[in-house]
Structure 1
Amino acid sequence: MTGMPTREQFAAIARGYDDNPSRSLSLRAEAYTNPAWHDVDLQHIIARTWQWVCHVEKLREAGSYVTVEIAGQPIVIVRDRQGVLRAFYNVCKHRAHQLLSGEGNTSRIMCPYHAWVYQLDGQLVRAPHTENLEGFEPNDICLDAVQVEEFCGFVYVNLDPNAAALVEVSGDLNTEIEHWAPDIADLTFAHRLTYDIKSNWKNVVDNFLECYHCPTAHKDFCTLVDMDTYKVTTHGVYSSHMADAGKGSNSAYDVSNATVKTHAVWWLWPTTCIMRYPGRSSIIILNVIPVGPDRTLETYDFFLEDTTPDEAERESIRYLDEVLQTEDIAIVESVQKGMSTPAFDCGRIVNDPGGSGMSEHAVHHFHGLVLDAYARVGR
């Protein structure tokens, strides 16, 4: 298949999926392997949903800015002089050059190509040597705005100008996070891990959404949390994954002095995972970034009580990096290879109506959201 899938192909991709997870097959392998579906994912999922950018601490001061790329589009987020958080396409209205790079603080936005200058609200205020142009009014020119929102201590953007606010579509997620992590806005960035994975982004999310594989693939993790208390609950655009910390010693990392004794994790459609592991107060953000049909970038950002992790936190970061992620990356890369063979088309969803961690109902929930997005395009 090349180009945009046909209406028939959009219909076929949902074959086998059932609203009841106990009767359903998984999303078909073609959606994970065919470049045409990757293009649909970028244009009609990533570019039309709320995407995580950073902790609000990076954008608290007037003039502070951060640049990112969302679905291949360059975006800049900036706090203007009146304290309003704004986001724009990071593109000059003169000749399309990138305006800002990286992150920092600025009193204006000046294009490094021809020195056109914009205020922090996006309004053009200076365009050198244009005084002789006919019908040219700088006041008529403004950077193209993008939706931006502060949510639970973090900043998100959405390239879809018609998308509903994140606080509206996310139901009770804000209440849940504030209950389990009331100090989230006071935490500070301490460490980042990055991974380049040879697998489709949906495989990465699938793997995150179930712990059916944990007793086999993550034996240390199963000593960190009490698997008998592991509960997964699906909601409109998110799922929550809760468990008590293990009651005895564990082989993952030391939690003997832990102040947080609950494993609380939320997945926000489509690519953001918000995690609070046992230990000191912390939040880990897993940002899943689709790059190609069989390539995904991941960032793990650790927000802690201090900018420097203590010994126990260093050990937890080492465990996640050298053990848990090593295990998960091997899994999703193996699955991607298997999906690229003629031996696999789709498989059964394993469902526990009680919502235990041994169930794949959150994977089924994710597949339903993917297929809903595909259906809107294929009409």
Structure 2
Amino acid sequence: MPSKNIEEALLAGQASVLKPLAEASTLPPEFYTSSGIFEAEMERVMRRNWYSVGHVAEIPNPGDYFRFDLAGEPLVIVRGRDGAVRALSAVCRHRWMMVAEGAGNAGTFSCPYHKWTYALDGSLMAAPLMDKAADFDRKNCSLPNFGCEVWQGIIFVNLDGKAAPLAPQLQPLAEELAPWKMDEMEIVGRVEFDQAFNWKTLVDNFMEAYHHFAIHPETFERDYPGADTSVDTAAGAYAVLRIPHRGDELSATLFPPLDGIPDKARRGFSVFNVFPAHIFAVLADSLIYYRMELKSVEEFKLTAYLLVHPKSLDVPDAEVLKDIFRQATFAIHMEDIAACEGTQKGLRSRTAGPARLSHLEAAIHQHQIWLLDQLARG
């Protein structure tokens, strides 16, 4: 869709979404298929808000780093010698080569093109053969340092530097999640997928359990009926879906839950979306966090992080349980992939239009209201 039509699309989206839930429909299909709208989301939403890029357990030691591309911005996430986590530009200040790729540990970042070398805080340490460049000052050639905040062990980045601090916005969630001690959790597995559908298709699917009886009849619906789920009243830039166990029974767990996990939390699990796209599920004994590295309107890389507290891993068969956790996560997501791919195919149809929402899809409604507000800020 040409950029000149973005505002027209916003009006159509507002007409569909901005109603009470019982009367509302979803965003129109073009919000899932238009490259123009995707570009607007990158500029107006992803660059302006806090976006989750990984977990602190990936970079426990000074010099540990990993690469991540956010809204077209190549980043290197690194733990400095001072222990601070930073989000630096991965682009050399000389001729734009990447100073790092993949993940690893480094004492410095040295550009492979002309060997400009940067410290872990981004400051330029060496620029070979630049002595004849007039008024060249290394202090003016540091790698840009973007806004970075760690919340519940998750690393968030803000590209434009104007977002309000994240933690105060999420204080109610932090209080609820405190018994899990998430900032101490370990990564016990990662499952990666290259996804061929819009990022919102996944978020919509993740934030409703209405589909349990159709897509997950054996893996979820038997113990966690979609009809019994509820969504918290909107209280901020996030949505919360509650999924109780059938009959209010205790949920089976792979690992022993920490002392202090509330009894109610052991009789089901909760799913969260910190807008725009930090989606995660909190079980009595573990956490599943979905990180999305967005590439285009119908393409992103998904990494599912499986996290458990070290105390819960102090069991004889921990490695076997970790493998079961990975296999179960993979199997469930494969069921969801079938739904998401089928949905994306249908979204491209000329017969597709805004879809009416069930009362079980309130979290989708909350997210789309917020997203439209962000996009309308231009």
Q: Could you state the TM-score of these two structures normalised by the residue count of structure 1?
A: 0.87
Query: For residues 4 and 80 of structure 1, do their structure 2 counterparts lie closer, same or farther at Cα, with a shift above 3 Å needed?
Result: farther
Query: Which residue identity lines up with residue 66 of structure 2 in the other structure?
Result: V
Counterpart Cα distance in 1 of 2:130 and 2:196: 49
* 8 Å contact from structure 2 (residues 110, 117) kept in 1: yes
Query: For residues 104 and 33 of structure 1, do their structure 2 counterparts lie closer, same or farther at Cα, with a shift above 3 Å needed?
Result: same
* 8 Å contact from structure 2 (residues 6, 36) kept in 1: no
Residue 7 of structure 2: aligned partner: 7
Residue 111 of structure 1: aligned partner: 111
Query: For residues 276 and 310 of structure 1, do their structure 2 counterparts lie closer, same or farther at Cα, with a shift above 3 Å needed?
Result: farther
SS at match of 2:192: strand
Residue 223 of structure 1: aligned partner: 222
1:295 aligns with 2:304: no
SS at match of 1:275: strand
- Between 286-295 and 129-138, report the one with greater CA deviation: 286-295
Query: For residues 292 and 257 of structure 1, do their structure 2 counterparts lie closer, same or farther at Cα, with a shift above 3 Å needed?
Result: closer
SS at match of 2:15: coil
Query: Which residue identity lines up with residue 224 of structure 1 in the other structure?
Result: D
What is the aligned counterpart of 2:189 among 185, 188, 191?
191
Residue 366 of structure 1: aligned partner: 367
SS at match of 2:334: helix
Residue 355 of structure 1: aligned partner: none
Residue 269 of structure 2: aligned partner: 263
Counterpart Cα distance in 2 of 1:256 and 1:319: 11
Counterpart Cα distance in 1 of 2:370 and 2:87: 26
What is the aligned counterpart of 2:203 among 197, 202, 205?
205
Query: Which residue identity lines up with residue 344 of structure 1 in the other structure?
Result: A
Counterpart Cα distance in 1 of 2:67 and 2:200: 25
Query: For residues 164 and 118 of structure 1, do their structure 2 counterparts lie closer, same or farther at Cα, with a shift above 3 Å needed?
Result: same
Query: Which residue identity lines up with residue 315 of structure 1 in the other structure?
Result: I
CA displacement at 1:258 relative to structure 2: 5.2
Gaps of 5+ in 1: 352-358
CA displacement at 1:80 relative to structure 2: 2.1
- Between 80-89 and 25-34, report the one with greater CA deviation: 80-89
Counterpart Cα distance in 2 of 1:284 and 1:257: 14
* 8 Å contact from structure 1 (residues 75, 87) kept in 2: yes
Counterpart Cα distance in 1 of 2:125 and 2:103: 22
CA displacement at 1:364 relative to structure 2: 0.5
SS at match of 1:14: helix
* 8 Å contact from structure 2 (residues 209, 226) kept in 1: no
Residue 356 of structure 1: aligned partner: none
1:376 aligns with 2:377: yes
Residues 64-103 of structure 1 mapped to structure 2, 5 A cutoff:
64-103=64-103
Query: For residues 4 and 78 of structure 1, do their structure 2 counterparts lie closer, same or farther at Cα, with a shift above 3 Å needed?
Result: farther
Query: For residues 140 and 258 of structure 1, do their structure 2 counterparts lie closer, same or farther at Cα, with a shift above 3 Å needed?
Result: closer
Residue 311 of structure 1: aligned partner: 320
Counterpart Cα distance in 1 of 2:270 and 2:87: 30
* 8 Å contact from structure 1 (residues 88, 122) kept in 2: yes
Query: Which residue identity lines up with residue 97 of structure 1 in the other structure?
Result: M
Give aligned-pair identity as a percent.
26
CA displacement at 1:363 relative to structure 2: 0.7
CA displacement at 1:309 relative to structure 2: 5.0
Query: For residues 248 and 312 of structure 1, do their structure 2 counterparts lie closer, same or farther at Cα, with a shift above 3 Å needed?
Result: farther
CA displacement at 1:317 relative to structure 2: 2.8
Query: For residues 254 and 167 of structure 1, do their structure 2 counterparts lie closer, same or farther at Cα, with a shift above 3 Å needed?
Result: closer
Query: For residues 54 and 216 of structure 1, do their structure 2 counterparts lie closer, same or farther at Cα, with a shift above 3 Å needed?
Result: same
What is the aligned counterpart of 1:285 among 267, 286, 289?
289
* 8 Å contact from structure 1 (residues 201, 289) kept in 2: no
SS at match of 2:14: coil
* 8 Å contact from structure 1 (residues 4, 40) kept in 2: no
Counterpart Cα distance in 1 of 2:196 and 2:58: 31
- Between 337-346 and 262-271, report the one with greater CA deviation: 262-271
Counterpart Cα distance in 2 of 1:318 and 1:13: 38
Deviations 1:67-97 (A, max 9, x none): 2111222101222222232221111111111
Query: Which residue identity lines up with residue 237 of structure 2 in the other structure?
Result: V
Aligned residue-pair number: 363
Deviations 1:85-135 (A, max 9, x none): 222111111111111122222222221211112222222122112222221
SS at match of 1:12: helix
Counterpart Cα distance in 2 of 1:215 and 1:247: 16
Query: Which residue identity lines up with residue 333 of structure 2 in the other structure?
Result: Q
What is the aligned counterpart of 1:276 among 267, 282, 300?
282
Query: For residues 319 and 62 of structure 1, do their structure 2 counterparts lie closer, same or farther at Cα, with a shift above 3 Å needed?
Result: closer
SS at match of 1:114: coil
Q: Could you state the TM-score of these two structures normalised by the residue count of structure 2?
A: 0.87
* 8 Å contact from structure 2 (residues 211, 226) kept in 1: no
CA displacement at 1:57 relative to structure 2: 2.3
Counterpart Cα distance in 2 of 1:138 and 1:312: 51
